[in-house]
Structure 1
Amino acid sequence: MVNGTLDPYAEVGDDSFDVLQLRAAEGLELPEAGDAVRGRHFELRRSGINGRPMAMDRVDETVVRGTTEVWTLRNGGDMTHNFHVQDVQFRVLDVDGKRPDPALRGRKDTVAVPVGSTVRIALRFDGPSDPDTAYMYHCHLLSHEDEGMMGQFVVVDKGRRAGAPPGHAGH
């Protein structure tokens, strides 16, 4: 009390409580190439990926939930492409057949692929599965996306097939 009135800043009691506890994992779990059930190849050019510009009504790849794949990214274009995969964090296995620099050895969702280079990545698809909801892989430069340098993949449960995403005008 201060001058006979209650002090609003005085500690009356402990009314705090814990609402969140974060626990770090012992180690960083990265996908291993040896666990891959499939490999895929992606030729990166401004005109499209694997020679095809983006089409919203087309599923380009279907992956099985809970599996690991190795994707080979080859830049046959005229400038560096920053390859991004939605809903997945991946491991860079090698760049032009060599061990990646230290900055590339952790979890990634985007990797720069220089002109004339090949980058191999290992991806594990642990996110939700839905045969009708597509994720994107694309060059992370907006002007390249606008030119069609994107593709779509769906994650399905084992034994399921891709559905048909609704078509869209533009992206």
Structure 2
Amino acid sequence: MATPTWGFNGGHLGPTLRAERDDSFDVLQLRAAERLRPSPAVPARLAEDTGLELPEADGSVRGRHFELLRSGIDGRPMAMDRVDETVTRGTAEVWTLRNGGDMTHNFHVHDVQSRVLDVDGKRPEPALRGRKDTVAAATGSTVRIALRFDGPSDPDIPYLYHCHLLSHEDEGMTGQFVVVEKGQRAGEVPDHAGH
């Protein structure tokens, strides 16, 4: 008799059936002590996000739109020899993420932290109001994030933005952007042939 478990089934995380043979192995065992120390009390007031280090929408110089599909971002699978976006160092932008796919996509942008401006046009819930380096875009939702690009610039060495689910990333849900100095253009991506 097959036992239902959770795992990858055809590239999707979800219920699968495992045959009677048990091919599992123990990785970690946690044992609680018979008597535990009491936990400290939760503070009456938690720290507030001052927003000083994160960009706002009104400080952005440009908006970009990304359609998140398993076939690729904006319908294009990742290409190592292509720069998809060029951003100027020291500027802030608003990126709109639209999930037109069939499952949640965890969108991650390298070398920046972002602020979630809104989810489906509504103010984000408290858990989404701090610094983020990855944001979940649920099926059918639209998430707007503000980002500021203060990291190192190099017109020839791209950063990535991608779905943070490994199987989606492997299927091509990844794009590349370069950060350039004001007035500079994107260069040429290094040849990765044979690497």
Regarding TM over 0.5, the answer is: yes
Counterparts of 2:132 and 2:194, CA distance in 1:
28
Q: Look up the match of 1:67.
A: 91
Among 109, 118, 130, the residue aligned to 1:85: 109
Please report the RMSD computed on the Cα atoms of aligned residues, expressed in angstroms. 1.5
TM-score normalised by structure 2 residue count: 0.72
Q: Look up the match of 2:132.
A: 108
* Secondary structure at the counterpart of residue 178 of structure 2: strand
* Secondary structure at the counterpart of residue 103 of structure 1: helix
Counterparts of 2:68 and 2:180, CA distance in 1:
25
* Secondary structure at the counterpart of residue 100 of structure 1: coil
In the alignment, structure 1 segments of 5+ residues that lack a partner are 1-25
Q: Tell me the amino acid that sits aligned with residue 156 of structure 1.
A: V
Q: How many pairs does the alignment contain?
A: 146
Among 5, 22, 35, the residue aligned to 2:59: 35
Counterparts of 1:58 and 1:164, CA distance in 2:
8
What does 1:138-157 align with in structure 2 at a 5 Å threshold? 138-157=162-181
Structure with more relative contact order (C-alpha pairs < 8 Å, separation 6 or more): 1
* Secondary structure at the counterpart of residue 71 of structure 1: strand
Give 1:169 deviation, angstroms.
Answer: 4.9
Counterparts of 1:106 and 1:90, CA distance in 2:
9
Residue 97 (structure 2) pairs with residue 76 (structure 1): no
Q: Tell me the amino acid that sits aligned with residue 38 of structure 1.
A: R
Q: Look up the match of 1:12.
A: none
Give 1:166 deviation, angstroms.
Answer: 1.4
Q: Tell me the amino acid that sits aligned with residue 146 of structure 1.
A: D
Go from structure 1 to structure 2 and tell me whether the alpha carbon gap of 1:67 and 1:132 turns closer, same or farther (over 3 Å shift).
Answer: same
Per-residue CA shift, 1:120-167, capped at 9, x if unaligned? 000000001100110000000000011000000000000000011113
Q: Look up the match of 2:146.
A: 122
Q: Tell me the amino acid that sits aligned with residue 157 of structure 2.
A: T
Q: Tell me the amino acid that sits aligned with residue 128 of structure 1.
A: P
Give 1:27 deviation, angstroms.
Answer: 4.0
Counterparts of 1:37 and 1:136, CA distance in 2:
20
Counterparts of 2:118 and 2:50, CA distance in 1:
21
Go from structure 1 to structure 2 and tell me whether the alpha carbon gap of 1:169 and 1:114 turns closer, same or farther (over 3 Å shift).
Answer: farther
Where do 4+ consecutive residues of structure 1 move more than 3 Å? none
Q: Tell me the amino acid that sits aligned with residue 143 of structure 2.
A: V
Q: Look up the match of 2:192.
A: 168
